[in-house]
Amino acid sequence: MTTSHADTAPQTQRLSTLRALARLLPFAKPALPRLIGGLFVGLAAAVTSLLIPLALQYVIDGPLTSGDRTAFLWAAFGVLALGVGEALFVFLRRTLVLTPAAAVEYSVRQAFYRRLQRLQVAFHDRWQSGQLLSRMMQDIGLIRRWLAFGSILLVINVTTLVLGMALLFRWHWALGVGFVVCSIPIWVVSYRFEQRYGVLTRTSQDQAGDLATAVEESVHGIRVLKAFGRGGHALGAFERKAETLRATEMSKAREMGVIWFWYELVPIMAQSACFIIGVVLAAQGQLTVGELFAFFALAAAMLWPMGSLGFLFSFLIDTRTATDRVFEVFDAPILIEDPADPRTIAEPRGALAFRGVHFRYPDAKEPETDLIDGLDLVLRPGETMALVGATGSGKTTLTALPTRLYDVTAGSVEIDGVDVRELRLEDLRSLIGVAFEEPILFSASVRENVLLGRHDLDPGSAEADAVLREALDVAQAGFVHELPDGVDTEVGEEGLSLSGGQRQRLALARVVAANPSVMVLDDPLSALDVDTEALVEAALRRVLAGTTALIVAHRPSTVALADRVAVMRDGRIDAVGTHGELLRSSEHYRYLISSIEEEGRR
C-alpha cells in the first residue's frame, strides 16, 4: 500500500538554495561550457545595453552641442550598432543554452529512471506512482527551464542592476544613494517571500503528485469504477484533490502578485526619485544635459531587469523545490544490491533452501510477530513443491524472497548452498524465474514479452524462435498465432487487450522461456479453464521434471503437479509431505484441501 507524499519525503536537513541547486552540477557538467558561454554572451548583451545610455551621453554632450554633423552621424550609427549588437548577443545566448539544457534534462531523467529500477520493491511499495511520475516529468522539466533561462537571466539581470547602479554613482553619488534607498523595500519583501513561497511551492508540487496518482489509479481501475457505478465518487475525490491544489496555487499566485507588485512599484519609485534628484542636479549644473538624458535611458534599460527579479526569484524557489523532490529519490538508499565480493554457481543444480527465515514488511506495526517467523524448507534439485496455506498466511511474500525482491530480516535463502545475498542480482535472477499471481504484460509484442528474461538471445535468431515456440507450447498459448500479427502483435496497455487466462499463459511462457534452474510460480493456473489447465499441467510436468519448482497452489489440480506439499501456517512450515501423507497426518492440510475443493466446486 502506498502512502502520501508526507510520509515518503525523507526528513533531510534543509540545504541553502545554492547548495541544493549545486547538487545538479554533476549532471550539468557536460553542458557547462555552453551554459557558461551563454552566460557570457548574455552578459555581453547586458553590457551593450548599458553602453547605449553612455553613447547617448557622448552624442548629446559632444557632437550635438558642438554642431559637428559628421561626428553626430558616426555617433548615431554607433548607437544603432550597439542596439543591433545587443539583439545578436541575445539571439546567440538563446542558441547556446537551449540544447545543453535539454541534454541536462535528458541525463537527469535517465539517472532518475535508472535509480527507480535499482531501488528495491519496498521503496516502490511506499511511494505513490503519481509522485514519482510528477518528479520525473514536471520537476525535471522545470529544472531544464531554469538552466536554460532562469539561472542565466538571474545572473545577467542582477549584474545589469549592479553595473547600472555603479553608473548612477559615477554620474553622481546622490543618484546612486537615491536608487539604493528606494530599493530597500524589495530586500525586505523578498526575504519574507522566500520563507512563505518556499513552503507553498513544496506543498503544491507534492499535491500535483497526489493528483497524478489519483488520475493514474482511476484510469487503471476504470473498469471497476464503471462496473460499480463509482465514476461520480472518483470524480468527487479527484475534484477535492484538484481543489486543494487549486487553493495552494491561488495562495502561490497571491504571494507572487504581492512580490511582483513590489518589483514593479519599487523600480518606478526609484526612477521617480532619481528623476527628481537628476533634474535638481542638472538645474544646479552638477549634471550635464547629456548625463541627465543618459540617466533617463539607463533608468529605462534597468526597468526590465528590476521588474523581472520577482518572477526569477519565484522561479528559483520553484526549481529549488523541484531539485529537492528529485534528489529525495536519488537519496533513497538502495538496500538490495550486488555483494561486494560476489560468488558464482558454476553448475547450478537448483537446490533451494529457506533456513530459519524471518521476514516482516518495513511498514509492519512493531509489536506484531514476523509474518514469516523462523521458516525452514528445503527443495531438492528437480523437485516440485506445492505451497499451501490460508489466505494471508504469507505464501506470496515467501515467493518474493529467493529473487531478493525483499531481503529476509533474519535467516537465509540459499540456492545450491550459496546465500542468495552472495550472488550478483543478475546471476541470481537468471537462476530463478518467477511468475506472479497478477500477470503483467508490457506494451510490446508477444515475442518481446515472452523472451523478456532471455537477453542472451538475439531476438531474430532461430534459437530465439525455437525457445519462443517451446515456451508458448508448454503454456498452451497457441492462441497468439490467431492474433492479427501472430507473435509480433503488440499486447499490454498500449496494445491488444488479452483475457486474464491468456495473460497468465504468456506470463507462464515467460518463465519457461527463461529456462531457470528454479521456478517460483505464484498460483500460475488460477485463471485457466479446466481443460486448458489440464493441458498446461501435462506440458508443465515435462518442463518441471528437470527444474526445481516452488508453486503456490490454491487448487487441488495444482497440488497434483507437485512431488511434495509444504503447509504454511503462522509464518512457518507446519508440515511437509506428499499429498497422501499429509491427508493422513495433517489436520490443517485436510482443512485447507477441503476448503480449496469446496471453493473449486462453487
Ligand X SMILES: Nc1ncnc2c1ncn2[C@@H]1O[C@H](COP(=O)(O)OP(=O)(O)OP(=O)(O)O)[C@@H](O)[C@H]1O
394 contacts ligand X (rule: CB under 6 A):
yes
Query: Residue 488 CB, nearest distance to ligand X (Å)?
Result: 34
Of 56, 60, 298, 371, the one binding ligand X (CB under 6 A) is 371
Give the rounded distance of the alpha carbon of 163 from its chain centre.
41
Query: Residue 522 CB, nearest distance to ligand X (Å)?
Result: 7
409 contacts ligand X (rule: CB under 6 A):
no
Of 395, 447, 510, 555, the one binding ligand X (CB under 6 A) is 395
Q: Which amino acid is at 262?
A: W
Mapped to the 3 state alphabet, what secondary structure does 193-241 carry? Answer: HHHHHHHHHHHHHHHHHHHHHHHHHHHHCHHHHHHCCCHHHHHHHHHHH
Show the site string, 121-160: x = touches ligand X by CB under 6 A, - = not: ----x-----------------------------------
Give Dmax over CA atoms of the chain in angstroms: 121
Least Cα distance to 161 among 306, 272, 271, 49 occurs for 306
User: Which range touches ligand X (CB under 6 A), out of 26-34, 394-402, 498-506, 586-594?
Assistant: 394-402
Of 58, 361, 442, 479, the one binding ligand X (CB under 6 A) is 361
Q: Which is closer to ligand X, CB of 138 or CB of 396? A: 396
What is residue 4's DSSP assignment?
-
391 contacts ligand X (rule: CB under 6 A):
yes
Query: Residue 596 CB, nearest distance to ligand X (Å)?
Result: 11
User: Which range touches ligand X (CB under 6 A), out of 98-106, 204-212, 386-394, 502-510?
Assistant: 386-394
Q: Which is closer to ligand X, CB of 304 or CB of 361? A: 361
User: Which range touches ligand X (CB under 6 A), out of 165-173, 263-271, 376-384, 392-400?
Assistant: 392-400
The footprint of ligand X on this chain (CB under 6 A) covers a number of residues equal to 12
What is residue 572's DSSP assignment?
E
Q: Which is closer to ligand X, CB of 229 or CB of 392? A: 392
366 contacts ligand X (rule: CB under 6 A):
no
Grid cell in block for residue 551? 508453486
Q: Which helix (H) or strand (E) holds 353?
A: strand 352-359
User: Which range touches ligand X (CB under 6 A), out of 36-44, 162-170, 245-253, 390-398?
Assistant: 390-398
Query: Residue 597 CB, nearest distance to ligand X (Å)?
Result: 16
7 contacts ligand X (rule: CB under 6 A):
no
Residue 77 CB: number of other CB atoms within 10 A?
10
What is residue 423's DSSP assignment?
B
393 contacts ligand X (rule: CB under 6 A):
yes
Q: Which is closer to ligand X, CB of 146 or CB of 436? A: 436
User: Which range touches ligand X (CB under 6 A), out of 142-150, 166-174, 375-383, 385-393?
Assistant: 385-393
What is residue 520's DSSP assignment?
E
* Pairing verdict, β 548-552 and 518-522: parallel
274 contacts ligand X (rule: CB under 6 A):
no
How far, CA to CA in Å, does 594 sit from each of 31, 353, 601?
67, 28, 11
How far, CA to CA in Å, does 177 sit from each of 54, 125, 168, 376, 591?
20, 59, 9, 82, 91
169 contacts ligand X (rule: CB under 6 A):
no
Grid cell in block for residue 151? 539561472
Given the C-alpha cell 497457441, which residue does it identify? 478
Residues 6+ apart with CB under 8 A from 572: 372, 373, 374, 375, 376
Query: Residue 343 CB, nearest distance to ligand X (Å)?
Result: 29
Grid cell in block for residue 41? 554572451
Q: Which is closer to ligand X, CB of 360 or CB of 503? A: 360
Residue 404's region, left for phi above 0, alpha for psi from -120 to 50, else beta, is left
Given the C-alpha cell 545538479, which residue does it identify? 24
Q: Which amino acid is at 406?
A: Y
396 contacts ligand X (rule: CB under 6 A):
yes
User: Which range touches ligand X (CB under 6 A), out of 166-174, 204-212, 224-232, 389-397?
Assistant: 389-397
Query: Residue 458 CB, nearest distance to ligand X (Å)?
Result: 37
Let me know: does 435 contact 426? Beta carbons within 8 Å: no
β-sheet bridge partners, residue 573: 568
Query: Residue 521 CB, nearest distance to ligand X (Å)?
Result: 13
Residues 6+ apart with CB under 8 A from 543: 474, 512
Of 7, 243, 337, 363, the one binding ligand X (CB under 6 A) is 363
Site for ligand X in 98-127 (CB under 6 A): 125
Q: Which is closer to ligand X, CB of 365 or CB of 455? A: 365
Least Cα distance to 167 among 265, 76, 53, 42 occurs for 53
What CA–CA distance (Å, rounded) separates 592 from 575?
A: 12
Query: Residue 553 CB, nearest distance to ligand X (Å)?
Result: 10
Show the site string, 526-565: x = touches ligand X by CB under 6 A, - = not: ----------------------------------------
Using alpha carbons only, what angle is made at residue 269 by residues 268 and 270, rounded to the nearest 5 degrees? 90
Q: Which is closer to ligand X, CB of 119 or CB of 277? A: 119
Of 131, 397, 403, 548, the one binding ligand X (CB under 6 A) is 397
Strand, helix or coil at 549? strand
Query: Residue 359 CB, nearest distance to ligand X (Å)?
Result: 9
Of 392, 417, 460, 484, the one binding ligand X (CB under 6 A) is 392
Query: Residue 574 CB, nearest distance to ligand X (Å)?
Result: 13
Q: Which is closer to ligand X, CB of 172 or CB of 395? A: 395
State the number of CA atoms in the 13 A half-sphere of 551 facing the CB. Answer: 31
Residues engaged in binding ligand X (CB under 6 A) = 125, 361, 363, 371, 389, 391-397
